Structure 1
């Protein structure tokens, strides 16, 4: 009887022209143990610490921006991760690059979209080393209610065609559609630590769902 029902369902789908929908699969980008799938200054800047990717140290000034980035590009996706930022002096800031590329001068920089992270920039969308400006930002008073200072926060980036949405701890902070058709909509993903601050940033639980 069960076999008959299954055959009947398959025949009905074929006759009505329905298509089987393949849902996107979540894939882990960081295994918690190695830098497999990532590249950057893993000798002096980036390290693996207790299952996290970390940069910066307590009491030490970060000399310049630095990025750890994926070895392959992504276009349409949902990226989820957790981030914790602490700092005592200077520009305490970090962020997540996406649809970006490495620069050659200086070699440690990246160019592209950044899901910004830090005081006055929590949950905002910045254009790093290109237009050099904040593209979209939520009211800072509202953001202060959602951000857990010096603690883990969830960050979600949804990039679908020219539309970009950011979420912090489940709350939407940005809904931006790129008006400039010359801006590339695919590229590398990068984790940032910002320079000129006594700061430390850690990232963990990084996964991605690629979208059609």
Structure 2
């Protein structure tokens, strides 16, 4: 009896191990959101997990790919004098972007740039003029090289929802002149630009901020739907009204 019970316990443990191994990893989070998208949307993967096909930027100096993750990194001796961006070769106007990002080293914010264009600043041809959705450290929206701060996390909602040195699961919904930002299931920003003429199609960029010390930021997922519906798909059910 004891022997059969022991065998049964071993089989159960093995089955549990298999189930855990087959359970989706955190790296699959963005992929899991695809099934939640409205049927009218046709998602594309901006990042293939292996190389920079479809992207351009300082890939020899600041950006690399490691185990399915885009790594933006600089050391003390090669800190970017101006914020530099890895940008998509294609331009986007109305879109939904689902992705994860993690600030590994430094306390400087990173962000996603949109509705603008690359410009040369301090010798770097891949700086950016346009809108920026910032996280973590400082949350809000910035108009790069034009109006500066355009939306602040004044009530601290984004800071409370975000994680400083861990993976943040995010959704950006940019339609018309309106930008919404979801962090870890919480809608933290919903703002419409009073100057819609500045909301033009442009490349999407991953920011490595200008700094004077070592810095490292990770990105993964990066699934995009062009011309999306108004529905936010990653907001937690308890947050929906």
Superposition TM-score tier, normalisation by shorter sequence: 0.7 to 0.9
Following superposition, which runs of at least 4 residues in structure 1 exceed 2 angstroms of deviation?
57-64, 137-145
Gaps of 5+ in 1: 1-20
TM-score between the two structures when normalised by the length of structure 1: 0.80
Instruction: Write the deviation string for residues 143-192 of structure 1: whole angstroms up to 9, x where unpaired.
Output: 33211221100121111111111111121121111111331331110000
Partner of 2:87: 69
Q: Deviations over 1:67-116 (max 9, x none)?
A: 0000010011101110000224xx62211101120113442310111111
For 1:139 and 1:86, locate their aligned partners in 2 and report how far apart those are by CA, in whole Å.
25
Query: Between Structure 1 and Structure 2, how many residues are aligned?
Result: 187
The residue that corresponds to 1:14 in the other structure is none
Matched, 1:127 2:181: no
Per the alignment, residue 194 of structure 2 pairs with 179
What is the correspondence of 1:39-78 to structure 2 with a 5 Å cutoff? 39-57=56-74, 62-64=79-81, 65-78=83-96
Residue number in structure 1 paired with 2:21: none
Which residue is equivalent to 1:116? 134
Instruction: Determine helix, strand or coil for the equivalent of 2:196.
Output: coil
* Maintained 8 Å contact 1:137/1:173: no
Bigger share in helix: 2
**Which of 152, 157, 163 does residue 167 from structure 2 map onto?**
152
Instruction: Structure 2: give runs of 5+ residues left out of the alignment.
Output: 1-37, 229-241
- Ranked by relative contact order (alpha carbons within 8 Å, sequence separation 6 or more), the top structure is 1
The 2-side partners of 1:30 and 1:166 are apart by: 20
The structure-2 alpha-carbon separation of the partners of 1:40 and 1:175, relative to structure 1 and needing over 3 Å to count, comes to same
- C-alpha root-mean-square deviation of aligned residues, in Å? 2.1
Q: What does residue 189 of structure 1 align with?
A: 204
